[in-house]
Structure 1
């Protein structure tokens, strides 16, 4: 059987199960089916092979005590919401590590450590409506250990789930249903990611940096105007530097493709904002009244980058601890940005939040 024929057969089988479970809607959602991932030919952004699936890439290998939360809003009236944690494998039966499905027309909630079939995994303590605050949802996943996941909605505990796959196999979050928007994806790294730990990225080439003492995160999906990124953490006593770079994917992902960079030198008390296009450093207006020490609150940092477009120009607005620093015009398309790289004297990275 050819790959194409096999894929069509899998789609047909999935649709039959889908309809039998009555979880489909007028919006032609795929319900608790499993999205395959593919490369789209011009870039290595993963794409869902289902028209109504929204696919987010996990930004860092999941570990014990990590939590991550996805929030958004539903259309009115809500019909279904399906959130899946997936490996990205092509095998329909092995791809899903954890799945939550809310059927609002029956007010039922299902949770399973695999693809939900035959309405298994019914939660008797909560209902589909319990996942919503008005039209908004906020669903959290806590990595208790390698094989146990705690699921939350808002601040309420929903269920603990024993997984069949280790949490470090999870690469994607897929969201289905009549979802109006996905607003945020945020991570809390428990005791924090230490600056001397390096993670080899699962799918894409790791950026090539002279400094190996770095932490690299993946952007969860295409950035666009109004998207934002906020990173918080701490530096040790008497740090020398902290550098945060937003990096575009090119044929050679290195210092040649920095869309935006905040570079602080604490030993000189200087702060520079940079952008590099194909190896050429672009002039960026810097407010010299703002120094490296201004971005710290004690030993803590909280830096935000917000995408903005106007007059044919892409710009990053940069803030520190909610105080505006400056803007950085960039010669890069927001959609090309794939990595966040942190370098320098980093004690811990504590949280990472994306406004999508």
Structure 2
């Protein structure tokens, strides 16, 4: 008992990074937000082929934009290396943007035929499926039950460590990891 009290008062010598008092397998569960209204979630294990990440959430009324991203970074989010980001712009063109960033170099694809005002209800579901083929790795993106697009992956599956949501997101209802 004395040892337990001693550890409580003076620590046990183990250095850990913990956000909000929570850690998962010794890794930080959260990260410092750098985007407007950003919510960041640590992926509990390295991703593999056929893994699926499903995000169910609620948008604010009259949203201007929302962003959902799969981010890299070992202990903190690396904003210079984004595996896949989906941005829904409800104003300024009413379109969807797919984005990847490698070492600070951004690659953007505007999906002008996909209108977020038509695709996204206030309670939305995004799914990201990691697929490995003979020639490439990619992420298949779906909104609800509908296929949205595919993004060629420029980072390895194992580098993806965080799921982030930002801007006009009111809350995350569910975050589901379906590991293969």
CA contact (8 A) 2:131 2:139 kept: yes
| Shift of residue 253, structure 1, vs aligned partner | 3.4
Q: Which SS does the other structure have where 2:158 is aligned?
A: helix
CA contact (8 A) 2:24 2:44 kept: no
Match of 1:206 in 2: 31
Question: Which of 88, 94, 114 is equivalent to 1:290?
Answer: 114
Alpha-carbon distance in structure 2 between the residues aligned to 1:237 and 1:205 = 26
Alpha-carbon distance in structure 2 between the residues aligned to 1:242 and 1:340 = 13
Q: Which SS does the other structure have where 2:162 is aligned?
A: strand
Alpha-carbon distance in structure 2 between the residues aligned to 1:290 and 1:331 = 24
Alpha-carbon distance in structure 1 between the residues aligned to 2:74 and 2:82 = 10
Encode CA deviations 1:118-170: one digit per residue, 9 max, x unaligned: xxxxxxxxxxxxxxxxxxxxxxxxxxxxxxxxxxxxxxxxxxxxxxxxxx656
Give unpaired runs (5+ residues) of structure 2: 1-13
Alpha-carbon distance in structure 2 between the residues aligned to 1:311 and 1:203 = 34
CA contact (8 A) 2:52 2:130 kept: yes
Alpha-carbon distance in structure 1 between the residues aligned to 2:157 and 2:50 = 10
Encode CA deviations 1:1-52: one digit per residue, 9 max, x unaligned: xxxxxxxxxxxxxxxxxxxxxxxxxxxxxxxxxxxxx9xxxxxxxxxxxxxx
Q: Count residues in correspondence.
A: 161
Q: Which runs of 4+ in 1 moved over 4 A?
A: none
Alpha-carbon distance in structure 1 between the residues aligned to 2:72 and 2:36 = 19
Alpha-carbon distance in structure 1 between the residues aligned to 2:41 and 2:90 = 24
CA contact (8 A) 1:256 1:277 kept: yes
Give unpaired runs (5+ residues) of structure 1: 1-37, 39-59, 62-167, 173-201
Match of 2:140 in 1: 317
Structure of higher CA gyration radius: 1
Q: Could you tell me the TM-score, scaled by structure 1's length?
A: 0.41
Match of 2:88 in 1: 264
* 1:305 pairs with 2:128: yes
Q: Which SS does the other structure have where 1:341 is aligned?
A: strand
Residue 207 and residue 275 in structure 1: after superposition, are their counterparts in 2 closer, same or farther (change >3 A)? farther
Residue 169 and residue 339 in structure 1: after superposition, are their counterparts in 2 closer, same or farther (change >3 A)? closer
Q: Could you tell me the TM-score, scaled by structure 2's length?
A: 0.79
